[in-house]
Amino acid sequence: MKKIKLNNGVEIPIVGTGTNTYGKEENQYSGALRGDTQEIDWAIENGYRHFDSAQVYFNEEVLGEGLKKSSQPRENYFITSKLNTFKGFGGTDWAHAEIKKSLEKLQTDYIDLFLIHSPWDNNEEILEAWNILEEYYTRGVFKSIGVSNFKKGHLDLILEKGKIKPAVNQIESHVGQWNEELIAYNKIHDIATVAWSPLKGIDENAKQVLEKIGNQYGKTYAQVILRYQIERDVIVIPKSHNKDRQAQSLDTFDFELTANDRERIAAL
């Protein structure tokens, strides 16, 4: 597995799995928890060691239980979680309480990467939240800290007034919304990019183009997309409720796209 070295020296597997519907009834985001860890079990068997979670997914305990019962030691896993800021910031006490809950649900005493999940319209509060993440990073509870869905202005705020540079910015990047400009901006500032929902946005026309490219290498259209992102040094966290398709997403390191392939994909 290829790894990306973050700006603090921590290494993150370039392919992980999203988890936002794992362990839920009918595989639905808003579904109740089923009480099993099936998708996590499959992912571990397939070789995944990087798992992306978040408080707002309301299923961190599924990941925590799945990893705990596996045969792998904790240090073999890279866990990401995120502070739920979609409704803004609830204050210092709230943040500490939510972080404590995440650690308990994940059944771990440290988190490899912890992110502010989304910016909101209050720069002072964003900095306050970032300072809290910095505190946990300094204590070693978070091995790396970063942000999610931050645009240039939000990043500038942290870069100018924070004490620690974000290691990661997790953003939208997929067919039809490659987000090249923001990825380039992340790279300029030595901030790694993670693409959420990297297989989103593929319509039938795009699928046909990708399948033609994939046929040259014996790969699926999804593998071609993931390879394209990987070759841009973009970390990807695809998700599947199918064990075989989970495995396919990891099977992306034995071929390389040509310049022409990349141009055709970039134009989708």
Q: Active site residue: 57, 77, 137, 221, which one?
A: 57
Contact 19, 63 (CB under 8 A): yes
Contact 229, 175 (CB under 8 A): no
Contact 250, 14 (CB under 8 A): no
Closest residue by Cα to residue 191 from 2, 3, 8: 8
Is residue 110 part of the annotated active site? The answer reads: no
CA 17 – CA 220 distance, rounded (Å): 18
Contact 231, 208 (CB under 8 A): no
How far is the first Cα of the chain from the last one, in angstroms, to the nearest whole number?
27
Alpha carbon dihedral 177, 47, 21, 70, in 10-degree steps, equals -150
Closest residue by Cα to residue 38 from 58, 59, 15, 13: 59
Alpha helix stretches (DSSP H) within the chain: 38-46, 60-68, 92-106, 123-139, 152-161, 180-188, 204-215, 221-231, 243-250, 259-266
CA 268 – CA 263 distance, rounded (Å): 9
b/e burial code for range 227-253 (CB count within 10 A of at least 16 → b):
bbbbebebbbbbbbeeeebbbbbbbbe
Closest residue by Cα to residue 6 from 118, 115, 82, 127: 115
Catalytic site positions:
57
